[in-house]
Amino acid sequence: MKRHAFASVLAAVCVLLLSASAFAQTKSGAQAPAMKAAPVTATPAPATPAKFTTMVKGKADIQVIQAAPKKVGDDMVTVLKIKNMSPAAISLLKVDEFWYDKKMQLVSGDQQAYRKPFNAGEVIEITMKSPVKPDLYKNQFKFSHANGEVNAKAVKKFD
């Protein structure tokens, strides 16, 4: 009986000693390096309130500059520069590219979306990557946004 009581007391003492050394922050002879205090700065300015932008409802107007399509690896890459000509921001602009063969049958295509608000007067660049298929002849684009249609005008230079 005395052996059981002695064994449990010995186990409790071992646990206390091991846990104390495990939770110790520094070694007994080591000292933590001194750190300089950070300089006191002025209180930060209050955050500016969020500004909401108005979005285009219905038809939006954009101008598009299309670079010549180039074959890169197994993809046909087309870069579009787009300028928002509407008086308000465009929400979730989506571009669909369709590639046709000489018989005007749909062969390949891609879809890209610009997820940020596309502000008035802003210019963005969208890269379309369509898989290369035999007999690619002509490509066509369709633009849309979350609140309606898009009137796209192809230009050589932005206004």
Q: How confident is the model at residue 53 (pLDDT cuts 50, 70, 90)?
A: confident
| Other Cβ atoms closer than 10 A to 155 | 14
Q: What pLDDT is stored for residue 5 in this prediction?
A: 65
Task: Write out the two tokens for 102.
Answer: 């000489």
Q: Using pLDDT thresholds of 50, 70 and 90, give the confidence band for residue 3.
A: low
Can you give the length of the chain in residues?
159
Question: pLDDT by residue (tens digit) across 59-115?
Answer: 999 999 999 999 999 999 999 999 999 999 999 999 999 999 999 999 999 999 999
Mean pLDDT of the region 114-142: 93
Quick check: 7 pLDDT over 90? no
- For the cut 60, the answer to whether the pLDDT of residue 30 exceeds it is no
End-to-end CA distance of the chain: 98
Angstrom distance (rounded) from CA 114 to CA 13: 65
CATH architecture of 60-154: Sandwich (2.60)
State how beta strands 148-154 and 60-66 pair.
parallel
Q: Which residue has the higher pLDDT, 56 or 52?
A: 56
CA distances 68 to 15, 45, 131, Å, are 75, 49, 16
Q: Domain residues of the chain, as ranges?
A: 60-154
Identify whether the C-beta of residue 61 lies closer than 8 Å to the C-beta of residue 86: yes
pLDDT at res. 135: 87
CA atoms of 88 and 102, how far apart (whole Å): 40
